Structure 1
Amino acid sequence: MRKIILNVAISLDAFIEDASGAYDWCFTDQDYGMTNFMNSIDTILFGRKSYELVIKENYAAHYKGYHQYVFSNTLQHLNDGADAILVNSNSLSFIQSLKEQPGKNIWLFGGANLTKFCMQHQLVDELMLSVHPVLLGSGKPLFEALIKRTSLQLTNAVTFGSGLVQLQYNVLHTQQ
């Protein structure tokens, strides 16, 4: 079965964006393992806001060749020529079926609402957190309003000269 991996940049105080919605604090001075990660996946899951940000910032070309799914309760369709498929109903069964299909791992790109949904339904198998050495003080937290405690098992930790620390965890699911 394929794994869903939440790979995300966070501040040391666990925010994914600052109070104004900016993420200019994220380091882009080197690869930080993204090439290897991108080679390990073939599917990307986006929430609506994250997908719209990717389009707005012209990052869509980086994800060509990957199966892309946009999860939204408000969108009725994606723009013509979109390189993604809109999922606006039966998200749980859709994601479960994706995990059962053959292929490489799946990147849970975010955003916060899709991450919360996937965590609450025990769909996330691994966390790959790139912790940036900055305190934002406020903003959008990575894990907001989780319903229950989730235990993690550290599998790897890499420290970069920039001060970024990349932490990898297995998510230890409880029996339902």
Structure 2
Amino acid sequence: MTQRQWAGHVFVGMSVDGMIARANDDIDWLTGDAAGDAENPDESGFTEFMASVDHMVMGRSTYDIVRAMDEWFYGDTPVMVLSTTLQVDDPRIRIIRSLDEAVSALDNDGARKVYVDGGRTVRTFLAAGMISTLTLTHLPILIGEGKPLFGALPGDVRLRLDGVKSLGGGAVQTRYSVL
């Protein structure tokens, strides 16, 4: 078996109570006033992060949210959308149907640093041992109910804290390496 040449990396904004979206997929709290300066991609490090990745895999729900926005945040980075049902003609993406298909495509493309986004997709890659770093930006808001980033995993995932950064508006960004 050949060793994988790429690693998955997570960069996500979330509420203090761990939600990445409301139950109806609304992210108004993430992009509105609550985000404050944390929404600034330069201050949050998102611009630098995107410049460092060569591929992206996102889930269907995440794709549905970002394709409705005015801006495509991923430039020319190849974006794969993990979905078993998506049927769309969008030249910015490549639809993949399973984790195995994603791994094969990333291997064949010579991927090195892969941005993994979306709750279920992050959990799937994390459970499979394919995430190397987690950069989590907690915005100073509790939304109570919604879609959590984390959920059930097959076992404990040990992390090492690599850094903590205070962003504008009271947001706090933590960066972890997966051990």
Question: What is the TM-score when the length of structure 1 is the normalising length?
Answer: 0.84
The residue correspondences of 1:1-176 to structure 2 (distance < 5 A) are 1-26=5-30, 27=35, 29=37, 30-31=40-41, 32-60=44-72, 62-75=73-86, 77-79=87-89, 81-89=90-98, 91-92=99-100, 94-95=102-103, 98=106, 102-110=110-118, 112-172=119-179
Q: Alpha carbon RMSD of aligned pairs, Å?
A: 2.0
Measured after TM superposition, the shift of residue 100 of structure 1 is 7.9
Identity of aligned residues (%): 28
Distance 1:168 1:40, change over 3 A: same
Please give the alpha-carbon distance, in whole angstroms, between the structure 1 residues aligned to 2:26 and 2:105: 34
Measured after TM superposition, the shift of residue 122 of structure 1 is 0.8
Aligned-partner residue type, residue 92 of structure 1: D
Number of residue pairs matched by the alignment: 167
Measured after TM superposition, the shift of residue 48 of structure 1 is 1.1
Question: What is the TM-score when the length of structure 2 is the normalising length?
Answer: 0.83
Q: Which runs of 5+ in 1 are unaligned?
A: none
Higher helix share: 2
Q: Give secondary structure in 2 for the equivalent of 1:64.
A: coil
Q: Which runs of 5+ in 2 are unaligned?
A: none
Q: Give secondary structure in 2 for the equivalent of 1:162.
A: helix
